[in-house]
Structure 1
């Protein structure tokens, strides 16, 4: 009964969160598309013949597009609004799939991947901000964490369809998703935080009433007053110049944190591993068909993201991210050791040929547990409204630049020093990051934006456990 009442009283809030999260399905499609497609493009009967080096640049162009797309976001996020930018993000996605469907050159694929990267930039920077700003504190974590599920659905679609349909059919099927997202998102309410930032108080009140399922204005006044305090403080500070992110400790500390987390997302190898999943499994001596293994991996990843959504507001952000980081480190260590023994020793691995798929399934499951989405959820929680767009843009710039480095480095290291070499790097980075997270990451579960801002402005940081208890 409580679940029914919860859903009915917050129906539009949940629908808006799910609609915005569909943007991550588009991201999952773009990232996952390369896994089944690259082997086809490298084959003798390729619809668009290309070399291994060209395929690695095709993968990397997504991150190049993200770098280019992130540059105007700091400005437009506080001018156009969160909802409007999310709607706009579908346009480059639609254009990209049309290029994939109707063109037949490597250069055209570079352009398509670049446009998908622009879409990814908007999705990763704006969706978490929109979700945290429309959600109540008590369910903010679970609504924000749903994006990982939607991302995995997109990737699983590509993994499942790609090996068994033609190159063109896969492109047509994928193009349906951004069109559907655009048609759904246009009906959703704008963030009340953004509306207050623009001085549209009555619109903000109506938006909040719709999101909370209330018809009586008095029921939303308390929350609206709290939001107004945050926004007023942000407006008094004015539009933050870039230097404020580094000079003011209330901004600098969360910036250090979020840049570290987004770099971890890339240097744990996620983009490279998802993009080259089929090839990674084809290199192993596993007796399991690579395409079937990829589908199994994607399916388990999707289930894991559902599990994460159910525990994020009970367990908290910090323990989930820490356990996910350590688990991903162990998984990449297993892959590194297997490929080392297979390629550089005479050890017979026929009895343990299940190790690559097991490690890969563990990797994607543990990444989905929190590392895939919670850094962006935290990014939406720890910055004041006047610097959110700027901070998100800088974080995504670092995230995208790291993605370019990792995807190219993966191919170069694999070809020059062996299939094991990039996995040693990924594993080492995870373990080093785990130490940093255990020391520097605070717990934001259940805290309002004001409480989180106070935490980062404390005289000493990282804040001690006994001081955190007094802030609750």
Structure 2
């Protein structure tokens, strides 16, 4: 039963999640819009992927800013930049201006993906943390669906006017947000930290949390050295690799070029609806199935669905599968199977594990490094999709990527289910001897805190 304190937590997580909705909108904007613009294949590829350049450079300042200035100011900045980007799109169709607006969107994306998982992970109780984390990809996929549905139906200008509404609503919702109490602990403002904890977690043990976190005041260079020294820690490596595996499963390319792949507006809309529906299903599944087991099943399912897509595209290219209708429908079905499996496990899991596994004293720099890895992988997948010019090769890469992810996570990933953040971080340097999904507590060899 959700009490008034958890309701406040969920409301804050929902408001922060609206920033993810704005990201979903500007990512999905290219799919129906590129067909309306007279551009070459290279220009389309760059317009669809150039936001990743902004995404690449923004996580480092965002990661430093959330520890220096707080989580909430960074979220507000992301909303302001998104509004500016849509204003540029409304005012012009000049290609270089569009590049710049997409670049601003990328900066917003980097800030959002760095700040929101950290913020949401810090304010939520353990019993609702996993469920609420799955709302983040739900917001992202809702943005994609809005673009796929409205894009083909309205003009370029009307489409931009509709899109600018979303970040404005998000900025208005920021009035209901509060700063993370963990930030106030970090800056030694005990009074404000206690005030917020009393509002959202009245049963907290402040001294235990603060003692367990053991915040160390290092400069940014020393924080990087600490993180590098821990890079062989399997928990951190799993968070980094998970971002790579998620992106190289191909979802970013399918969202950006769904009309090109499926060659049918109805198929594109159905694809987006399936992603959204199973993102909603994941909110029900995540609290009932262990994180590790769900991720492994999702990686394996995505691998098999991409392998099937790889086979049918090879048959089609070699004129073995003769009927175009059969090929298009089979490819659409295979992609939808992938989308459903991805949305339940592989899609939401990076946000969940990043928010849970990174310790507070390294969360800013750790989140920005994860975001950089995410960005490079996403840019590579999106930019190369049209240049490879072969669905067979693309699907083969996606399938092998998911297989590698399955093997690595099976060997190294631990469970975080029903653990407080300070319990997880207490074992950041530990080696868990058991990998049983039902184990109560990991066994460690040494402690980082």
1:247 to 229, 240, 252: 229
Deviations 1:242-277 (A, max 9, x none): 12112136x843321111001111111111111001
1:200 offset after TM fit, Å? Answer: 1.3
Structure 2: distance between partners of 1:102 and 1:466:
54
Cα distance change, pair 462–110 in 1 and its aligned pair in 2 (3 A): farther
Look up the match of 1:287: none
Cα distance change, pair 466–435 in 1 and its aligned pair in 2 (3 A): closer
2:372 to 397, 419, 444: 397
Cα distance change, pair 163–467 in 1 and its aligned pair in 2 (3 A): closer
Q: Retained in 1: the 8 A contact 2:130–2:286?
A: yes
Structure 2: distance between partners of 1:165 and 1:316:
43
1:155 to 138, 141, 144: 144
SS at the partner of 1:241? helix
Q: Are 2:5 and 1:33 equivalent residues in the alignment?
A: no
Q: Retained in 1: the 8 A contact 2:149–2:269?
A: yes
1:123 offset after TM fit, Å? Answer: 1.2
1:169 to 140, 158, 165: 158
Q: Retained in 2: the 8 A contact 1:35–1:275?
A: yes
Structure 2: distance between partners of 1:354 and 1:386:
50
SS at the partner of 2:39? coil
Look up the match of 1:45: none
Q: Are 2:253 and 1:281 equivalent residues in the alignment?
A: no
Cα distance change, pair 106–450 in 1 and its aligned pair in 2 (3 A): same
Deviations 1:210-234 (A, max 9, x none): 224xxxxxx4342x23322234x12
Look up the match of 1:267: 248
Q: Retained in 2: the 8 A contact 1:259–1:395?
A: yes
- Listed as ranges, the matches of 1:55-454 within 5 Å are 55-212=44-201, 219-222=202-205, 224-231=206-213, 233-235=214-216, 240-248=222-230, 252-282=233-263, 290-349=264-323, 350-351=325-326, 353-414=328-389, 418-454=390-426
Q: Retained in 1: the 8 A contact 2:63–2:114?
A: no
Structure 1: distance between partners of 2:374 and 2:297:
21
1:347 offset after TM fit, Å? Answer: 2.6
1:411 offset after TM fit, Å? Answer: 1.3
Deviations 1:181-213 (A, max 9, x none): 01101331111111111111111111122224x
Structure 1: distance between partners of 2:143 and 2:204:
39
Q: CA RMSD in A?
A: 2.0
Deviations 1:53-91 (A, max 9, x none): 100011110111100212312210101111111111111
Structure 1: distance between partners of 2:115 and 2:189:
20
1:344 offset after TM fit, Å? Answer: 2.4
Structure 2: distance between partners of 1:57 and 1:238:
37
TM-score, length basis structure 1: 0.89
SS at the partner of 2:152? helix
Gaps of 5+ in 1: 42-48, 213-218, 283-289
Structure 2: distance between partners of 1:442 and 1:124:
23
Q: How many residues align?
A: 441
1:7 offset after TM fit, Å? Answer: 4.8
